[in-house]
Structure 1
């Protein structure tokens, strides 16, 4: 899994871990959980969960480790943006810290790619880096590894305060699925993604919610990416906001593309 993806803000996905558990309203209609249980159960079920219990042994979306996938980024010769663990959360409590460290070692060593790590557990991300930075050999996370957190409504806006404790050159917010109006503090944030929910049980997003975030980004000179309106399918509502697509990225993308062009 991983070579291709329809996610607009990345080029590929890489899943050395699969599976997760719900932590907030944004998880209610999780696409990854539905995909795992409907289409990938026969692939996932033979692999034992990282922490096996009677309850999760037959759950395709229990957390599972796939060490054989660790070498995948090295096999991709052309630089690309890689969404790390699109089918999981790298900082889930069931993932052994040693395995998270191995994933970081791959990202740090194979640095021709940009890695996009998105978590709903930014406090655990900050704690991981604080306890492992010295062993990994970096005081700060380099610019080719982006750390982001999901903020779907104001109730979880506190995640931003945990995220900025991570000494990353690029930190981002994913406001998807956007479930209500947000008043964001963008200090220390370098990119914002906004998107509506998709799927048969999708909850609608109001245009004013997306436009308000876009204006906050403009005010604070933060790149803004509008992913989708959502609907019964991910592409149903399209990507136009006020008559145009918004596909801004942090400056490091342009820098990486320039380097790739001359190497």
Structure 2
């Protein structure tokens, strides 16, 4: 693993180890556990063994960094799709320290660290104050409870890019308060023109708006044989929230289930389809989802591809 990735929002995946434990509803049908078991590894449970990768594998990021420097185009690297960098597990402590060293050695890579444990970041990450520009930090947000628990912790990290992975999205999530911070208009900027930016705040209407506390939102449905369908209304809501806040929005996948395009009234289930959400009219029509599998389901929302990402700075990494 590592040279190619099926994850649409990154260029490479790097897994310093395999395994972690389930801690929230998004973990219920863990794809990484299913993948590991196909290779005979039982590494996704509390206190279990973690599978370490070879020294040859650990040299891959150095190769990718040379490639990116040669082309002048940074590469995004997701660490880790088969575990959690910030899991508090004694077996990964040494490997995690080694990962920090590799990250420091690869400034042409844009490291995407995604965790379900943002409470551990400040204690486990080696950087105090501002993080290096080439290290992004994200947290998984599958429902409103996890949003309200995890995002405030993520916002404490002074990284150039803070992002959310709302996958698998299992309910409607309101991110409004985390995407845009509003304050009342006060002197001495009362007469500033529309769109003026002062002290990191933009004049919009009768408010000053501090934008992009969260810099990127990824959304996606669940894949696999036991996947839960993602209500299209949830994906649309996140799209609209991001558009209002000026935050890049990336719809990664529908997953196993995709909208059929029909609104249906049905008293009995039909094989290969489910109805989701509340009735959309007085007659009781609901949105129909059909089981297609990830590839056929695709990732178009209302006929459009949503694949916005934060800009990749090509300047040398530094701490702001």
What is residue 62 of structure 2 aligned with on the other side?
A: 74
Q: TM-score with structure 1 length normalisation?
A: 0.83
* The structure with more helix, counted as a fraction of residues: 1
Mark the CA change 1:111 to 1:211 in structure 2 (over 3 Å): closer, same or farther: same
The answer on 1:87 being equivalent to 2:112 is no
Q: Is the 8 A contact 1:97 1:128 kept in 2?
A: no
| 1:22-171 alignment runs, 5 A limit | 22-38=22-38, 40-41=39-40, 44=41, 56=48, 62-66=49-53, 68=55, 69-76=57-64, 77-79=66-68, 80-94=75-89, 95-129=91-125, 132-133=126-127, 139-157=129-147, 158-171=149-162
Report the Cα distance in structure 1 between the residues aligned to 2:50 and 2:152, rounded to whole angstroms.
Answer: 26
Report the Cα distance in structure 2 between the residues aligned to 1:75 and 1:119, rounded to whole angstroms.
Answer: 25
CA shift at 1:96, angstroms? Answer: 4.2
What is residue 59 of structure 1 aligned with on the other side?
A: none
**Which stretches in structure 2 are left out of the alignment for 5+ residues?**
69-74, 181-212, 257-291
Q: TM-score with structure 2 length normalisation?
A: 0.69
CA shift at 1:126, angstroms? Answer: 2.4
Report the Cα distance in structure 2 between the residues aligned to 1:234 and 1:20, rounded to whole angstroms.
Answer: 24
Q: Deviations over 1:90-130 (max 9, x none)?
A: 0111154443232122112211111111110011012223x
Q: Is the 8 A contact 1:126 1:163 kept in 2?
A: no
Give the structure with higher Rg (CA): 2
Report the Cα distance in structure 2 between the residues aligned to 1:121 and 1:93, rounded to whole angstroms.
Answer: 9
Q: Is the 8 A contact 2:22 2:46 kept in 1?
A: no
CA shift at 1:236, angstroms? Answer: 3.1
Q: Is the 8 A contact 2:16 2:95 kept in 1?
A: no
Picking from 288, 295, 319, the partner of 1:235 is 295
**Which stretches in structure 1 are left out of the alignment for 5+ residues?**
57-61
Deviating 4+ runs (over 6 angstroms): none
Report the Cα distance in structure 2 between the residues aligned to 1:89 and 1:81, rounded to whole angstroms.
Answer: 17
Mark the CA change 1:165 to 1:67 in structure 2 (over 3 Å): closer, same or farther: farther
Picking from 173, 183, 186, the partner of 1:182 is 173
Q: Is the 8 A contact 2:21 2:46 kept in 1?
A: no
Report the Cα distance in structure 2 between the residues aligned to 1:226 and 1:98, rounded to whole angstroms.
Answer: 35
Picking from 195, 216, 219, the partner of 1:191 is 216
Q: CA RMSD in A?
A: 2.2
* The structure with more strand, counted as a fraction of residues: 2
What is residue 206 of structure 1 aligned with on the other side?
A: 231
Aligned residue for 1:193, secondary structure, equals strand
Deviates most, 67-76 or 119-128: 67-76
Deviates most, 235-244 or 85-94: 235-244
- Number of residues paired by the alignment? 236
What is residue 309 of structure 2 aligned with on the other side?
A: 249
